[in-house]
Structure 1
Amino acid sequence: MTLRLPLLALICALVPALPLYAADPFQPVFPFPVSGATAQPSVYDSYDLPIAPWRDDALPVARFEGQVDRRAWQLETGGASLLEVLAPLRDQLEALGYEIVLDCEARSCGGFDFRFATEVLPEPGMHVDLNEFRFLSARRGGEAVGLMISRSASAGFVQIITVGQEALPAPVPGQRPGAGEDPPATALIPLAKPVTLPSEPLAAGDALALLDAGLPFALDDLVFETGSAALSHRDYPSLALVAEWLRADEARRLILVGHTDLSGSLDANIALSKRRAEAVRAALIADFGISAARISAEGAGPLAPRATNASDEGRQKNRRVEAIPAST
């Protein structure tokens, strides 16, 4: 008995020092200034957390259920690498007791297939460069965090989806910690207003500004035959704008991505959306003399909606082709 008392005392002394991870939700502290943010309402929902890269025409996921928060931030990252943004957030997760399940870059994640198989908030709140992004998955018991990081020409973008027992508190305006200061208990991040789509087509200057910033430009004036990938014969100002942007710099490249609404089967919609993107690519090559090597075409089907599929107006907005600047 006398031999066990010191050991028992040591255990009692150590137990209070053990971290109570379950009481600490993940609320990020960023290593760079925040220039804007957006969030969707916290809801009791399910989230499919990617747990491995895209393989065998599927994305391996683990489904988590709980209070789901979906948020995205724009950061003033300057010339910093994506890893410089990711590493401090990964350290914070590990300090809270999360297990890192997946940590991959664009190509190793599965590129285009991975990006469009996982959940991403709509533009302009979150932007993902298909050639330059990083993704990290982490779990802690029944809690999960999915973290996507990418960039445009002028900003860094961070999306964080969390699943926990309670909704995260609403961020309030404030400053990030300065050098040598202890981080606050919660990230002090101002939220932007919810994303709204323009009701009118973008002006030419605005469209070119989007492309210059590395952001997608939706070619909303295109008209396809019903259920077909054939473009109706007419003049399309959006195609002229895209051609103008490409001609301004021979180093520029574009990815054309077709989108559909949710009507019909997934496979059929993805195939149709790619054929429509290919039709737009063919028009840029044939009608505007753009080199075929500078444009590629892909199809996302209904996987990246920008409006509800519950109304005719929303479904119409989701049927589109987007021009996405690609890294050279």
Structure 2
Amino acid sequence: MTRLKALTKRIAPFAPAWAWASIACWFLGTAAAPAFTLEFPGPATPTFGPTTTRDSYAMPTSAWSPQAFSTQSIDGMVERAAWQVDTPKLSSLDLMQPLRAQLLDAGFKPVFECETMVCGGFDFRFAIDVLPEPQMHVDLGDFRFLSAERQVAGETEAVGVIVSRSANKGFVQVTRAMADAGPPLFAATNGMGEGFEPLTGETVNLTAPNQPPLIPPADGASDGLQFVTKGSLVLDGLDFGSGAADLTEGRYASLAALAEWLKDNPNKIIALVGHTDTSGGLDSNLLISKRRAASVRARLIEAYGIPPSQIEAQGVGYLSPIASNLTEEGRRINRRVEAVLTSVQ
């Protein structure tokens, strides 16, 4: 408690005493990294996790801009946790500062830190790893972010912290990643077991409604993968979950094929455009459509290594339907993300 009181004096000398009620939260450790506790500037209620999985974490190392957004990929054990903190009179700065100080005390060094518009505002928030509502609430006009890392037994341990608040509550998400070499490899030979046949690849077609396929037939006159003559295509099979804006986990054939084309055509630039049906108002639909496009953009960058400068994300809500909104099937078709080729050469 002595260390917490010292932090209190350093970051908010005028805060009411009750606001600094302490809560210790267990932060899980991997085999190489010991667990440690984080203390919050007020009573904290866990809203998610901690959960630990083998995964990849794209730690932001710069602010977002249309030209570039850099991340450092950490492959290994990834832990995610979020809390709601009872801090009605404290700012997002008051939330971040004690957490930052505790990370520094634990040996972490800041890699990148920013606040709201310096981070890149809306685009930054939807380009990074953030849990959905209600586990994590982010006010697009008031949030702060910190990336930090330390070396443990020769491996990199990374932490990403985002804080925000509502009118009466503070919100904190911590993502912790510990790099490792992966599980031991099995001994293998170059022989093929009896009864097994070599696997064959599967050709994936990305199509736009009533348009030629993105991947031409084998006997087509076109050279390799190209966008349809219309200049846009619907990314089939994407799943955002019911009422959600974040793309669910899984391998999407349409994204894999699009990523391959983007790698083969590094001089081409596309815009991912989100669309909705007419349920709800225009403002909310514009927001969710851009959030969905940003989620697809983030997946292409993080999972397939596409340069951020090659993709932008936009949303037009329900303003560009391709089917009638009078039927459920038509509304389903209208809820989509399209890839639009924006290069002029």
| TM-score, normalising length: structure 2 | 0.47
Q: Which has the higher helix share?
A: 1
| TM-score, normalising length: structure 1 | 0.49
> Which of the pair has the greater relative contact order for Cα pairs under 8 Å at 6+ separation?
1
